[in-house]
Each structure stands twice: as C-alpha cells, then as structure tokens.
Amino acid sequence: MLRYFLTALLFTALPVAAESIDCRVIGIADGDTFSCLTAHKDQVRVRLGEIDAPELKQPYGSRARQALSGLVFGKDVTLHIQDLDRYGRTVARVTVGNTDVNAEMVRTGAAWVYRDYLKDRSLLNLEAVAKEFKRGIWSLPKSEQVAPSEWRQAQRSGSTSQRASIRPPSTSPQQSGFSCSVIKSCRQMSGCAEARFQLRSCRNPRIDGDGDGIPCEAICR
C-alpha cells in the first residue's frame, strides 16, 4: 500500500519535476498513447508529448498505431516526463535506446506536430520534410489530411447536431406495428426500422452506445 502511495505522490509532482522513468511497454492504445510497467510493476499510461497521431477511426489511424507498436511494443523505454494531462496520462518524450519515438513518429509521417503543446521546434522541420516527401499521412488525399484535433472537434460537433436532431417520428406505435412495451437489445430487433423506432419513440439509449444517433449500427449502416 505504501508503494502505491509513494507512486501517487511521484505522479502528482510530475509537472514540476523533470523526471525520467524506465518501463516496459505492454499495450498500445493508438498512435500516441500506450501503457507500460515499471520495475515495481506500477502501470503507467503514457501520452506522447508534442505530437498528435490520427485517431483510430481517422484515415491512417490504424497504421499510426502499428507504427508506434513497431517502435515500442514489448520494449524497455525511457519516459522523459513533461506533464500529467487531464485524463491522468503521463505526457512524455519517449526514447528507445537512441531513438526519440516522438520525433520518429513525425519523421515517418505517422503523426502531426501538436502545435498547441509544442516545446521542441525541430519537430516542425521533421514534419515539413515528411510532408515534402509524402510520407505516411501526407500520402493521403488532401481531404483526408485532417489534424486529429480538428477531426475530434468535428466529431463532437457532428454528434451534438445528430443528437439534437432526433425527434419522435410522426408514426404512432400502432401505425408502425412496433411497441415500447418491451425495451429490446439490438439482437432482438426485427430490423433497422424497429431499431430506429426504439431509439426515437422509446428513447432506448442502450442501442446507441456512441451517441451518434444511429441505433444498432450492425443493422442500420
């Protein structure tokens, strides 16, 4: 218990102390986030500082995750800690031997420079070269070269608009042949029409887990 208390104190002090921690990477969430274990078996969630990789649902998102995995998964890394973010992740520059992982992700076109949090301006030069040689994300069509921060904002705005636009249909339960007497799961739906009825008329939140206004996406694509 004392060890966990001391670990908590350490991470509370991270923003003001220039700490370095060694750990082994055990999981990759996406192109800029992973988990690792310290020698004391404390798990640390790490966000690569100063860069922003495409989200998994964005173009190149899965390939960015693969790129990070190839660099760090199963390896011993050093975290050069910069901050602790609002999600409790340790923000760090990460090295594997002599390789600066953050810089390598930008150099190979697997991530953008995150200008809102930029400290090392040499990353901008790496991004410019990657863009010039059309590496990674820069090989995509222009319409798909959307910075993750802009993509996330668009997703939030879109989801809000979709949720606000949901209104009960004019068709009554008797007219549609469906009923709200039983709140169903997606597996129990007769089809997309019933799923939409359950979401809009019966206000069944379970069938729209991501809140995008589309119920039971396996049958309502």
Spot the catalytic one: 89, 93, 107, 196.
89
pLDDT of 12 over the 70 cut:
no
In this prediction, residue 211 has a pLDDT band, given cuts at 50, 70 and 90, of low
Give the fold, CATH level 3, of 2-149. OB fold (Dihydrolipoamide Acetyltransferase, E2P) (2.40.50)
Spot the catalytic one: 55, 104, 127, 194.
55
Is 221 an active-site residue? no
Supply the mean pLDDT for the chain: 83
Is 24 an active-site residue? no
Structure tokens at 158: 């879109």
Is 93 an active-site residue? no
Q: What is the per-residue burial (b if ≥16 Cβ within 10 Å, else e) of 171-191?
A: eeeeeeebeeeeebebeebee
Amino acid at 48: L
Q: Which residue has better confidence, 57 or 163?
A: 57
pLDDT of 1 over the 70 cut:
no
What percentage of the chain has pLDDT greater than the value 90?
Answer: 59
Q: What is the pLDDT of residue 156?
A: 84
Contact criterion met (CB below 8 Å) for 80 and 94: yes
Domain locations in the chain? Answer: 2-149, 169-221
Spot the catalytic one: 3, 19, 45, 47.
47
pLDDT per position as a tens digit, 58-92:
999 999 999 999 999 999 999 999 999 999 999 99
Q: Which residue has better confidence, 14 or 71?
A: 71
Three-class secondary structure assignment of the chain: CHHHHHHHHHHHCHHHCCCEEEEEEEEEEECCEEEEECCCCCEEEEEECCEECCCCCCCCHHHHHHHHHHHHCCCEEEEEEEEECCCCCEEEEEEECCEEHHHHHHHCCCCEECHHHCCCCHHHHHHHHHHHCCCHHHHCCHHHCCCHHHHHHHHHHHHHHHHHHCCCCCCCHHHHCCCCCCCCCHHHCCCHHHHHHHHHCCCCHHHCCCCCCCCCCCCCC
Instruction: Please state, in angstroms and as integers, the Cα–Cα distance from residue 205 to each residue in 169, 199, 210, 215, following that order.
Output: 16, 7, 10, 9
